[in-house]
C-alpha cells in the first residue's frame, strides 16, 4: 500500500542512488514531413483459353524533411507484381495459380524520424546522491544540485545518425495454389505461401565511430559527478555511466528456422433464385496445430560478479529466470496477430444477391 501523509498525498522517499530526476528539452513547433511519390502499372493478358497473365510493377520515391534542417532520408524502390493462371481444361473446373511480388513497408515517422526532436525531445536523467529522507517538505530531495550522476541522456538531433542507404523493410512473397469445382455448389482450393521479410530498420549503439560529449544548458558532466566517477575508477572524459551491453549468439538475434501453417477453407453455396445464394464458409487455421517456437524471452542483466572492461563495465550477463522460453503469443506461429497461433475454427455465413 502506498504511504500517504495527513493530507492524503503520496510521501516521496529519497534514498541515495534511488531517486531519479528527468529533464526534457523540447523544440517547440518542430515538424517532420515524410513524402511518398509512387506510380503503379498493372495489366491482364489473356494469352489463350488456358493461360492468362497479370503483370505489374510499382515504383516509389520517399524523402523526409524537418523544420530543424537536419538531414533525413531519401530512398527509392521498384517492386514487381507477377501472376499467372492456368486452366488446363479451358472450362474453369480446374485452375492452377501462382504469384510473385515484392511489398515495400511503410516509412513510419516513429522509425524514420529518430534523428529529430519531433518525436522525442532531448533528455537527461540524473540520479540522486544527496542525504536520505522523505516527505514533500524534505528540501534536499528537491534540490537539483543533489542529482549529480547522469544515468541516461539522449540528443536525437546531435548524436543519432541516419545511414545514407536507409529504406523501409521489404517482403518477398511467392504463392502457388490449385483449385477445383465441387459440382455446381462448392469449390476447393489449396494454397502454398512463402514470405521472406528483410531490410529491417535497426539501431546500433557502438563506440566504433567515436563518441560525442554534449553539454545542454549545463547538463554535461558536473565536477562533483566526475570526481565521484574518478573515485570509482572511471577514466575522465565522456560520461561512461550510460552504457548498453550487447549480445549476439544466444540472445535471439539469429535466424530462426522456417515454419509453416496449414489452413483449410471450405465454401458451400446454395443457389435459390437468380443471383440470390446463401453461403457457408468453414475455416480451420493451423490444421496440424504447429506449435513451433519461433522466439523466446531474452531478458538478461549485467553480471556484476563477472569480468569487467577497462571502465569497470560488466562484459558478461546473467540470463533471466525465463530466458530461452516462449513467454508471449509472438513466440509461436500466428495466423492472426495477437492470437496464440494454436488450431482454431471459424465459421461464417451470409447471403449473396
pLDDT in tens, 184-226: 767 788 888 888 888 877 666 655 655 666 655 544 455 555 5
Residue 192: CB atoms within 10 A of its CB come to: 12
pLDDT digits (tens, 9 = 90+) for 136-190: 889 999 998 899 888 887 788 777 777 777 888 899 999 999 988 887 767 788 8
Contact 43, 56 (CB under 8 A): yes
| Rounded mean pLDDT, 244-254 | 41
Dist CA 233 CA 238 (whole Å): 14
- Residue 261's SS3 state is coil
Q: What is the mean pLDDT of the chain?
A: 79
| Rounded mean pLDDT, 281-294 | 85
Instruction: Provide the pLDDT confidence category of residue 334 given band limits of 50, 70 and 90.
Output: confident
Dist CA 201 CA 154 (whole Å): 19
Contact 66, 34 (CB under 8 A): no
Instruction: Please report the pLDDT score of residue 86 as a whole number.
Output: 96
Residues 6+ apart with CB under 8 A from 196: 171, 172
What CA–CA distances, in Å, run from 117 to 25, 153, 159? Answer: 9, 14, 12
Contact 339, 330 (CB under 8 A): no
Please state which of the ranges 45-49, 136-140, 274-278, 335-339 shows the lowest mean pLDDT.
Answer: 335-339
More confident residue, 182 or 1: 182
Top mean pLDDT of 37-41, 91-95, 206-210, 268-272 is at: 37-41
Contact 259, 331 (CB under 8 A): no
- Residue 159's SS3 state is helix
Q: Please say if the pLDDT value at position 291 is more than 60.
A: yes
Cell numbers given for 14:
529519497
More confident residue, 83 or 3: 83
- Looking at the chain, how many residues does it have? 353
Tell me the torsion sign for CA atoms 202, 207, 209, 212.
positive
Top mean pLDDT of 112-126, 223-237, 306-320 is at: 112-126
Q: How would DSSP label each residue in 83-140?
A: EEEE-SSSSSSEEEEEEEEEEEPP--HHHHTTTSTTTS-EEEEEEE-S--EESTT-GG
Provide the residue ranges of all domains of the chain, joining segments of one domain with +: 247-353
Residue 335, φ and ψ in degrees, nearest 5: -85, -20
Instruction: Please report the pLDDT score of residue 235 as a whole number.
Output: 43
What CA–CA distances, in Å, run from 102 to 172, 174, 197, 271, 317? Answer: 5, 9, 10, 39, 39
DSSP label at 193? E
Instruction: Provide the pLDDT confidence category of residue 132 given band limits of 50, 70 and 90.
Output: very high
Q: Which of 277, 276, 274 has its CA nearest to residue 186? A: 277
Residues 6+ apart with CB under 8 A from 120: 114, 154, 156
Cα dihedral 327, 316, 224, 26 in deg (nearest 10): -40
- Residue 2's SS3 state is coil
pTM: 0.61
- Cα 101 to chain centroid, rounded: 23
Instruction: Please report the pLDDT score of residue 226 as a whole number.
Output: 52
Amino acid at each position: 500500500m502506498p504511504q500517504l501523509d495527513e493530507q492524503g498525498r503520496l510521501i516521496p522517499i529519497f534514498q541515495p542512488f534511488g531517486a531519479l530526476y528527468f529533464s526534457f528539452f523540447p523544440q517547440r513547433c518542430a515538424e517532420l514531413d515524410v513524402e511518398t511519390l509512387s506510380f503503379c502499372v498493372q495489366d491482364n493478358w489473356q494469352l489463350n483459353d488456358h493461360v492468362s497473365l497479370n503483370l505489374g510493377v510499382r515504383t516509389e520515391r520517399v524523402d523526409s524533411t524537418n523544420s530543424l534542417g537536419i538531414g533525413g532520408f531519401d530512398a527509392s524502390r521498384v517492386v514487381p507484381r507477377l501472376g499467372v493462371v492456368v486452366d488446363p481444361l479451358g472450362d474453369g473446373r480446374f485452375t492452377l495459380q501462382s504469384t510473385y511480388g515484392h511489398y515495400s513497408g511503410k516509412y513510419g515517422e516513429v522509425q524514420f524520424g529518430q534523428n529529430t526532436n519531433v518525436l522525442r525531445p532531448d533528455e537527461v536523467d540524473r540520479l540522486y546522491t544527496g542525504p536520505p529522507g522523505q516527505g514533500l517538505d524534505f528540501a534536499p530531495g528537491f534540490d537539483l544540485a543533489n542529482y549529480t550522476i547522469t544515468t541516461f541522456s539522449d540528443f536525437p538531433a546531435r548524436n543519432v545518425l541516419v545511414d545514407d542507404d536507409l529504406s523501409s523493410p521489404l517482403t518477398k512473397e511467392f504463392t502457388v495454389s490449385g483449385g477445383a469445382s465441387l459440382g455446381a455448389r462448392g469449390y476447393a482450393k489449396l494454397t502454398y505461401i512463402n514470405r521472406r521479410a528483410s531490410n529491417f530498420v535497426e539501431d546500433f549503439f557502438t563506440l566504433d565511430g567515436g563518441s560525442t560529449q554534449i553539454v545542454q544548458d549545463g547538463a554535461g558532466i558536473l565536477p562533483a559527478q566526475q570526481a565521484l566517477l574518478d573515485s570509482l575508477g572511471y577514466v575522465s572524459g565522456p560520461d561512461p555511466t550510460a552504457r548498453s551491453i550487447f549480445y549476439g549468439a544466444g540472445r535471439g538475434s539469429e535466424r530462426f528456422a522456417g515454419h509453416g501453417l496449414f489452413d483449410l477453407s471450405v465454401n458451400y453455396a446454395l443457389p435459390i433464385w437468380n443471383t440470390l445464394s446463401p453461403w457457408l464458409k468453414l475455416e480451420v487455421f493451423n490444421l496440424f496445430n504447429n506449435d513451433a517456437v519461433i522466439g523466446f524471452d531474452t531478458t538478461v542483466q549485467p553480471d556484476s560478479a563477472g569480468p569487467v572492461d577497462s571502465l569497470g563495465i560488466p562484459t558478461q550477463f546473467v540470463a533471466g529466470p525465463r530466458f530461452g522460453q516462449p513467454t508471449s503469443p509472438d513466440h509461436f506461429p500466428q495466423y492472426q496477430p495477437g492470437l496464440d497461433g494454436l488450431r482454431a475454427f471459424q465459421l461464417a455465413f451470409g447471403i449473396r444477391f
